[in-house]
């Protein structure tokens, strides 16, 4: 039996300040000597980067569908065995999504804390919190009041909360975590990010008696599962990793290693070529559209991608990774930039979202789960070899293309949902 103080930090909607509050609490507790683990609900790359910077440890996704109930449980058991406090940042509103943050909290008996942007409310906060408490079967342990203007403002809110504990308050901040079209920006893009996180930790007022009154959650470990077959033993997979290609789940890299692969990393933005001895390449998603000029001038990297493709090295290019290996990317200003051209076709940015949501791909090894989220479109003469299915309505989702040894798609696969299908992506066709 493993136990730790666990909290689901949720809210009534996006934009309430869940990531800011979670990061502030995590940094505050770490500075006080607590061992803190943080998770993020649902598919997300950017919030976990901020949370990871705040707590100093890797932040994994928890989702009852994409990750799976058993895998979520294993992750929570591991966290409870090594940490005093486990924080889980929810997604959107508490009851949004299928499964929702409330479903995840209920599955493991995790108390819920709701973050409320109280900047334009006072006693009405009590009605909002009461609605969250009564709407569904969650154990609401308290609230965090965000963007508080004054002590008088806080007192008015508390009067309306009746007996609901206020676990923390965060005053209005002159500086917030910046965002762009896919969400928050990456930590390395924020000047003095650690100083900003320290200021948030200094500013958040924790009610420690109320905090300590929350009982630890006990999680019973299952029998250890058998490790996946070493289908990638002896294979050296080169993974693109820099500011343009940062959207790779820790769980994806861990899955490749569990399959027996050795991972090596290279940075296309630094014009680093694919290592010559790599016999697999993974180009994850990210923000290539923000680095078009650099990628277009990265002659060594571009040629190394063409060489690897010519040698029939298996290549997986996901979302931003796929964008960067087409013939060109047209940026938001309408300028086209030449890319390596492994995938015949052109990508163009657009102001509106082009793909979103949980999806699955049927493979000969079973279902591979994941999601899509992109603001660009691909124009290509290739016919897809497969298409994902949207979980929300069963409609066709993202196309999957094969061109020689290249597999390219907007679909972000969660590798651990099907290790065998994942391994096949990095094996030669005849294997």
Of the residues 72, 255, 292, 319, only one is catalytic, namely 319
Kindly compute the dihedral angle of the four CA atoms of residues 320, 251, 83, 89, in this order, to the nearest 10 degrees. 40
Q: Is 319 a catalytic residue?
A: yes
Asked if residue 180 has pLDDT above 70, the reply is no
Tell me: cis bond preceding 213? Omega within 30 of 0 counts. no
Q: Which are the contacts of 52, defined by CB distance < 8 A and separation ≥ 6? A: 38, 58, 59, 187
On whether the CB atoms of residues 128 and 115 are closer than 8 A, the answer is no
Closest CA to 220 of 70, 365, 344, 93: 70
Q: Which are the contacts of 23, defined by CB distance < 8 A and separation ≥ 6? A: 50, 51, 53, 54, 177, 197, 200
On whether the CB atoms of residues 190 and 146 are closer than 8 A, the answer is no
Task: Work out the end-to-end distance of the chain between its first and last CA atoms, rounded to an integer number of angstroms.
Answer: 42
In Å, what is the CA distance from 173 to each residue of 144, 180, 202? 15, 19, 12
- pLDDT value, residue 132: 94
Q: What's the mean pLDDT in 354-358?
A: 91
**148: alpha, beta or left? (left if phi > 0; alpha if psi -120 to 50):** beta
The pTM score is 0.93
Instruction: Assign 179 a pLDDT band (cuts: 50, 70, 90).
Output: low
**188: alpha, beta or left? (left if phi > 0; alpha if psi -120 to 50):** alpha
Domains present along the chain, CATH in parentheses: 2-219 (3.40.50.300), 236-425 (3.40.50.880)
Q: For the chain, how many residues are written?
A: 431
- pLDDT value, residue 431: 44
Asked if residue 2 has pLDDT above 90, the reply is no
């Amino acid at each position: 039996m493993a136990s730790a103080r666990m909290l689901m930090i949720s809210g009534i909607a996006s934009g309430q300040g869940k990531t800011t509050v979670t990061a502030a609490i995590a940094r505050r507790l770490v500075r006080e000597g607590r061992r803190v683990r943080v998770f993020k609900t649902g598919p997300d790359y950017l919030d976990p980067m901020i949370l990871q910077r705040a707590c100093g440890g890797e932040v994994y996704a928890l989702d009852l569908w994409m990750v799976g109930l058993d895998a979520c449980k294993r992750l929570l058991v591991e966290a409870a065995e090594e940490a005093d406090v486990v924080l889980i940042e929810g997604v959107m509103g508490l009851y949004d999504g299928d499964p929702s943050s409330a479903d995840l909290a209920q599955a493991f008996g995790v108390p819920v804390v709701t973050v409320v942007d109280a900047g334009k409310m006072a006693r009405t906060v009590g009605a909002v919190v009461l609605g969250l408490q009564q709407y569904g079967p969650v154990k609401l342990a308290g609230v965090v009041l965000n963007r508080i203007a004054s002590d008088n403002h806080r007192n008015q809110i508390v009067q309306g909360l009746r007996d609901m504990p206020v676990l923390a308050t965060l005053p209005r901040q002159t500086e917030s975590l910046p965002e762009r079209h896919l969400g928050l920006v990456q930590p390395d893009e924020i000047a003095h990010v650690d100083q900003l996180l320290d200021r948030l930790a200094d500013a958040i007022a924790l009610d420690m008696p109320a905090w300590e009154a929350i009982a630890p959650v006990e999680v019973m470990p299952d029998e250890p599962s058998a490790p996946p077959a070493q289908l990638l033993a002896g294979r050296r997979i080169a993974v693109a990793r820099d500011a343009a290609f940062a959207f790779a789940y820790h769980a994806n890299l861990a899955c490749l290693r569990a399959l027996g692969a050795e991972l090596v990393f290279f940075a296309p933005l630094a014009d680093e070529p694919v290592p010559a001895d790599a016999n697999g390449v993974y180009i994850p998603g990210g923000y290539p559209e923000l680095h078009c000029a650099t990628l277009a001038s990265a002659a060594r990297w571009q040629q190394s991608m063409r060489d690897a493709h010519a040698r029939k090295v298996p290549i997986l290019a996901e979302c931003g990774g796929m964008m960067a290996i087409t013939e060109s990317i047209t940026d938001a200003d309408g300028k086209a930039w030449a890319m390596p051209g492994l995938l015949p076709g052109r990508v163009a940015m657009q102001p509106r979202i082009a793909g979103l949501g949980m999806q699955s791909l049927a493979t000969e090894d079973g279902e591979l789960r994941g999601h899509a989220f992109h603001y660009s479109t691909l124009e290509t003469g290739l016919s897809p070899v497969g298409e994902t299915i949207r979980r929300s309505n069963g409609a066709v989702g993202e196309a999957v293309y094969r061109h020689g040894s290249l597999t390219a798609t907007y679909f972000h696969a969660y590798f651990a949902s099907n290790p065998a299908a994942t391994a096949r992506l990095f094996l030669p066709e005849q294997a």
